[in-house]
Amino acid sequence: MEHPDYSLEAAAIARGHRRIAGVDEVGRGPLAGPVTAAAVILDPDTIPDGLNDSKKLSAKKREAVEADIFQLAEVSIAHASVEEIDSLNILRASHLAMERAVAALDPPPDYLLIDGNLIPKGVQQPAEFVIKGDGKSVSIAAASIVAKLARDRIMVDLAQQFPGYGWDKNAGYPSKQHREALIEIGVTPHHRRSFKPVHKILYQE
């Protein structure tokens, strides 16, 4: 399938659900920063143009589509902190962020389309997981765009406070600059201590 469409949402509506939320998270792989999730309920009559997997859109296009999503859809964004990532593990923390994003929608959705291969155990609604969902469902694609941009902006902010790691460009992922800065400058409070490259430096393994 080239582009995501509304067929999964339409199928859920045909089964009697009305408020269908697409849910996605971003930031499982970085060495620093929170994991961020978004939940989006689209109006089938005013679906923004250009929705796609956020990774397939240029930065300029992502921002333009994001503006339309906020104007035309119901959106919520939530995070799980570095401390939560380290105490729970990254999968559970990413699910926690998803659960929080869903819980923040008011009124609540009555059906969820969740990117990935698992349904977070804390969600109350009927749900289905959709593998590579941001390329299949426009609601999940919208959530992927919102979550990515929200998290990118957090990392740009943190880059001002902790220069040298390149977070404004690498969003906390283990780029060459980031890995070198970890060794030369050291570990910040925003690094995930449970992640191997950070753990190794802290404990000199």
- Residue pLDDT, tens place only, 28-70: 999 999 999 999 999 999 999 999 999 899 999 999 999 999 9
Query: Who wins on pLDDT, 2 or 149?
Result: 149
**Angle formed at CA 90 by CA 203 and CA 113, multiple of 5 degrees:** 170
Determine the pLDDT at residue 2: 72
Determine the pLDDT at residue 1: 47
Determine the pLDDT at residue 203: 85
Summary mean pLDDT of the chain? 96
**25 is an annotated ligand-binding site residue:** yes
Assigned fold of 7-151: Nucleotidyltransferase; domain 5 (3.30.420)
What does the alpha-carbon distance between residue 205 and residue 196 come to, in Å, rounded to a whole number?
A: 10
**2 is an annotated ligand-binding site residue:** no
% of the chain at pLDDT higher than 70: 99
Whole-angstrom CA distances from 133 to 72, 101, 130, 136, 140 are: 21, 17, 5, 5, 6
Determine the pLDDT at residue 17: 97
Bridge partners of 26, per DSSP, are 36
Determine the pLDDT at residue 190: 98
Q: Is the pTM of this model over 0.85?
A: yes
**115 is an annotated ligand-binding site residue:** yes
Determine the pLDDT at residue 205: 54
